[in-house]
Structures are given as structure tokens and as C-alpha cells.
Chains A and B, each alone.
Chain A
């Protein structure tokens, strides 16, 4: 294998990894603020993909309009799901397990609703941009560069929101200490609702960008959920920056691993990496022990 091909694979790994990072950061946000492990997160990705498909292919809406609409819809869906299930469970005893169980049930329910609504056919969306960029023998399709650009933009916006807006302060305050935040007038329930919506929208962005490359099926959420879990374990569960770095790292490790073995073993590599990290550093590669 030539060096340029190898570099090409690494760059592809980074690009796919940036999408893992978006999905993982949604899981991390939800866990970070309300200590809920969302097993239905992959379904936000899957439904996001279908929303974009319906808007772009079925209704003929241009992609630059369709994607924001899909994001908004995903936000509302996420918030709705939080309000009718997690919201009530958090007020009860044993919520740590009951929220995991309920999101598992939701995941199966949404997956099979999608199967009923859209059928089991594999769907895809045409490329948003065409063309190939060539530099020093390395060839990268424009579509993939667009993915990377959108990921960087999304992460920048999210970082700004979390660090420099009142909403972001409220989210971070609630995640640090719910009761103390409530004392200064931050309504935890509303913050939870918004966080869930944002996390769902992050999943939908990833889905919208991946739709032209990866097929959309009712089952496309599950593998990406597992990837998201690996990402948050690598980065430390509940850490937003950790999830970003974890996602990029996973993308590169997978790209190199697939070069060394074959595509069928891609997921085994990811999970083995995760179990190894849990064994050595249960608090994540970048988190602190406390």
C-alpha cells in the first residue's frame, strides 16, 4: 500500500470520526446533565436520516433548507420523548435503571415504527456536492470535506453555546449541581428538556451528512449507537470535549484497523478498544479519576 493511500484512509477515518463525535457528544450531553444513558440515541440518527430523505428525495426540498427543518424536527421529537418518559422517571426511585430500560423500549419501538412507515428498503440521498479534491496524490471527495466542515462548524457552535451563552451556563450549572442550580433559579426540568432536544439534533446533523454515503435503513441507528457508546467511554462518560476527541480517535483507529484486517472486523476493533480502555482507565482517556 502506498503512503498516499494510507494518508487518504487516515483522513477518511477522521471524517467518519467527526460524525461519531457528533453522535457521541449527544450521548455525553444527556449523560452529563441528567445522568441518563440514552439507548434510543441511535434512533434519533436513524429518524434524522429518514427526515432528510423525505424532504430531499420525496418532496424535492433543497438540502440547505431540508437539513435545518430536519434538525428542528429532531429537536422537537427529542424534547417530546424526554417530556413523556424520562421526565417522570427521574422523579422516582431507581431511575438510573428505569431510564435505561425505557430508552431500550423506545429504541425498539421507534425502529419498528420506521420499519412499518418506510419499509425495509435501503434508501439514500444524492450527494450534496460533487467533485474530488486532489492534493499531493491524495484524493478526497468534496462530499466528505463538506462533512468535515459541517462537523467543525457544529462543534464550534456547540462550544460557543455551552461556554458563552446563558443557556450554556444553565446547562453546565445543572450538570454540576442540580439543586444548587435550582437555588439560583435555573429550572432543571426545562434544561433537561432542551438538552435532550439538542442531543437529538446533533444526532440528526450526523445523519443528514452521512445520508449520501451510508444507506438509511430502519436499523441504521443501532450500529451508530454502539459507536457513540465507544466514543463516550473513550472520552469519559459525560464529557463534551472528551466525546469530540474520542470520536476522531475512534475514526482513525477503525481506519487503520480495517487496513490491517478487513471490514468485517471493524466493529470488533471498536469494542475491543473500548473494553481495553475500561480495563485500564475506566474514567476515560481524557477524563480525571474523580
Chain B
């Protein structure tokens, strides 16, 4: 569904990746790394939500359930079985996938968008309340702590990769790799035949079905992949933060944050949710002192973006450019640029 990248776009991607890769070598400021790590966690989350909502058109509002399931599964498995977090994050992602397929099943039958929204919201509430009620296992709102961090290891060139609160470089590189993995997976999926089918399903469900698109299979596929990625991001989050509470890991606030990110960046685009995650995570950090106003501003951002920038910040560019060219050369026909 995407056009092949032009050479300058490849260059841009390469430069961005290179800049992200050398950043910890230049600055050991752990606060900067922390903000970037959070941005990347939310980047995976927002991209995976966008995969279901923006690309496949299934408007779900319950993806924070998979984040929480991923976070708690990985933490609990690592705590009780002694397995390494390197392994448990994948187990947790698979558990989240199963949950995604489970909730995907009733959604398959429903074509009405409000029903899908309500069912997914309700499912996430069930998960949140269950995690908070099962205090003997999860310690509820008291918080599950003592989650083991990733084990350190030594790389030939870069030296030892440490995973500690003081030295965040290890976490940084790991989440960067996971982000590249998840973006790559989404790109591959959307460029495949299935990607075309998903977009067709979003734009005209009946027409897609009449042309032989297997709606059931594609809806389950997209829900499974998306839940897998969100679960993975959640699992990483648990081991990174080290303490989990139901309100922080499965709260509706989390979903609102991610929806705001995807909307701000631009729904149904590949880079939009990533850009949105970076911008809003930085905004949150800047507003840290105004903690009471944080959610108020989020609400306002969502309203303003939906009302005035329906396609996200990406549309701001063309709007500004059009104004600009209009002033300079009013005779230029917009059709020329198409």
C-alpha cells in the first residue's frame, strides 16, 4: 500500500537510525535516555493501535488491556519461574496475542463501529478490574515490585550492555531494536497482499468481501499481530520500570495517551504514530510540573486535532505550504503537484 521509498527517504531513515544509535555514546544523560525510551515504548504501542484502527479500520478502544497483560505476564512469569526476562517478554507477547484473538472473535461478527468500541472498552475494564482484584497474585494497587531486570551481556565492539536504573543504555538499545522490529513487521504486513486486503476492508467491507477477501482471517490476523506488539511493549515496560500497578499499566489513561499520540501524528500513516509518540512524550515531560493540567491538556489536544487537523500534524505541512505558495505565485495550479 505504500509507495517504495525514494532515495532521499531511505537516506532520511538511515540518518535517523544512525543518530538514534550513536546518541547514548554522545550523551550519558539518563533523563534524556529515559524520555526517549518511553517515546519508543509508546511508539510501538501507538503504531500497533494504528495498525488495527488506522489501517484495518477496526476502531478499538481497549488496547491497554494487551499492554497490561503483557506487562503483568512477563513480570509474573519471570518472578515465579525464574526464567530470564529475555525469554519471558516473548512469552508475554504470545499471551497477549491469545487474548487479542479471544477478544477478536466476538468483534468479527460485528460491523457496527460503536459496538466494537464498547466491547473493546469493556474487555479492557474486565482485565483491569481482574488484575486489581487478584491481590494475592498481582498485589493490586499496592504495586507488583521486585520485577527482575534484563541480564547484562557483553558485545564485541560496544562493550558491556548494562540494564540498571543508572545506566539506561542497554534498555535504550533493546527498545530501539524492538521498535525497528515492530515497524518492520507492520511495514512488511502492510506491503503484503494482506495489507491491501486490510485497507480494502477498512474502506469498503462489503466490496472487499465480494472480491474474495477473507474478512474473518484478516481481522484475526491484524488483531493478533497488534496484540503481540502491544504485549511486547508492555512486557518491556514492566522490566524497565520495575513496578506495576493496574492504574499505570492497564488504566484507561494509557489508552487515551496512545489515542492522542496516533491522532496527533496522523491515523493511518506509518510514521504518524511514531512522531506523535515522540512529541507527546516530550510534552508530558515538559508539563511534569503542571501535573494537574496534564490530562486536561490531552483532552484539549484530542478535541483540537480532531476538529481542525483531522489527519494529524502531517497535514499541517501541506496547509502551511499551500498558504505560502499561494502568496508567492497565485497562478500555480494545485493540480500540477498531484
Which residues in A have some Cβ–Cβ distance to B below 8 Å? 31, 37, 85, 88-89, 92, 94, 96-98, 100-102, 104-113, 115-116, 222, 226, 229-230, 232-233, 237, 264-265, 267-268, 271-272, 274-275, 278-279, 282
**Chain A residues within an 8 Å CB radius of B310:** 92, 94, 98
**Chain B residues within an 8 Å CB radius of A226:** 121-122, 125
Q: Are B125 and A108 in contact (CB under 8 A)?
A: no
Q: Are A229 and B307 in contact (CB under 8 A)?
A: no
For B255, the closest partner residue in chain A by CB is A104
A51 to B130, CA, bound (A): 34
Interface centre among B114, B121, B295, B299 (most CB of A within 10 A): B114
Known contacts A37-B117, A233-B115, A282-B115: does B306 contact A105 (CB below 8 Å)?
yes
A89 to B298, CA, bound (A): 19
**Chain B residues within an 8 Å CB radius of A282:** 109-110, 112, 115
Top 9 closest pairs, chain A to chain B, by CB:
A105-B302, A109-B299, A108-B299, A112-B296, A37-B114, A105-B303, A271-B122, A102-B306, A229-B118
B301 interface hit (Cβ, 8 Å): yes
Partner of B129, one of A222, A230, A264, A274: A264
Partner of A101, one of B109, B292, B298, B302: B302
**Chain A residues within an 8 Å CB radius of B301:** 105
Q: Are A278 and B115 in contact (CB under 8 A)?
A: yes
CB<8 Å pairs between A and B, sample of 11:
A92-B310, A100-B59, A105-B303, A108-B296, A112-B293, A115-B292, A226-B121, A237-B114, A264-B133, A267-B126, A282-B109
Known contacts A37-B117, A271-B123: does B303 contact A113 (CB below 8 Å)?
no
A217 to B114, CA, bound (A): 27
For B109, the closest partner residue in chain A by CB is A282
Q: Are A109 and B300 in contact (CB under 8 A)?
A: yes
Known contacts A108-B256, A237-B115, A268-B126: does B106 contact A88 (CB below 8 Å)?
no
Q: Are A101 and B263 in contact (CB under 8 A)?
A: yes
For A284, the closest partner residue in chain B by CB is B115
**Chain A residues within an 8 Å CB radius of B252:** 222
Q: Give how many B residues have a beta carbon under 8 Å from the other chain's beta carbons.
A: 38
**Chain B residues within an 8 Å CB radius of A85:** 303, 307
**Chain B residues within an 8 Å CB radius of A96:** 113
For A112, the closest partner residue in chain B by CB is B296
**Chain A residues within an 8 Å CB radius of B119:** 233, 274-275, 278
Interface centre among A104, A229, A232 (most CB of B within 10 A): A104
A107 to B253, CA, bound (A): 12
For window 216-262 of chain B, which residues contact chain A by CB distance below 8 Å? Answer: 252, 256, 259-260
CB distance from B60 to the nearest CB of A (A): 11
A168 to B28, CA, bound (A): 67
Q: What total count of A-B pairs have CB within 8 Å?
A: 119
A92 to B118, CA, bound (A): 23
Q: Are B117 and A100 in contact (CB under 8 A)?
A: yes
| Other 13 A-B pairs with CB < 8 A, given A108-B296, A274-B122 | A92-B310, A96-B113, A100-B61, A100-B114, A101-B302, A109-B303, A112-B295, A112-B296, A115-B296, A116-B292, A237-B114, A278-B115, A278-B119
**Chain B residues within an 8 Å CB radius of A98:** 306, 310
A115 to B292, CA, bound (A): 8
Q: Are A275 and B307 in contact (CB under 8 A)?
A: no
Interface centre among A107, A222, A232, A278 (most CB of B within 10 A): A278
**Chain A residues within an 8 Å CB radius of B256:** 104, 108
A96 to B116, CA, bound (A): 12
For B116, the closest partner residue in chain A by CB is A278
A105 to B260, CA, bound (A): 9
For A267, the closest partner residue in chain B by CB is B129
Partner of A275, one of B122, B300, B306: B122
Known contacts A31-B114, A100-B114: does B133 contact A265 (CB below 8 Å)?
yes
For window 170-214 of chain B, which residues contact chain A by CB distance below 8 Å? Answer: none
Interface centre among B122, B296, B301 (most CB of A within 10 A): B122
Known contacts A104-B256, A222-B252: does B122 contact A229 (CB below 8 Å)?
yes
A226 to B123, CA, bound (A): 11
Mask of B284-311 contacts with A, CB within 8 angstroms, 1/0: 0000000011011011111100110010
**Chain A residues within an 8 Å CB radius of B306:** 89, 98, 101-102, 105
Q: Are B302 and A102 in contact (CB under 8 A)?
A: yes
**Chain B residues within an 8 Å CB radius of A104:** 61, 256, 259, 302
Q: Are A113 and B130 in contact (CB under 8 A)?
A: no
A142 to B227, CA, bound (A): 49
A44 to B292, CA, bound (A): 21
For B130, the closest partner residue in chain A by CB is A268
Mask of B54-94 contacts with A, CB within 8 angstroms, 1/0: 00000101000000000000000000000000000000000
A105 to B295, CA, bound (A): 10
**Chain A residues within an 8 Å CB radius of B118:** 37, 229, 232-233, 274
A47 to B71, CA, bound (A): 35
**Chain B residues within an 8 Å CB radius of A92:** 310
**Chain B residues within an 8 Å CB radius of A112:** 292-293, 295-296, 299
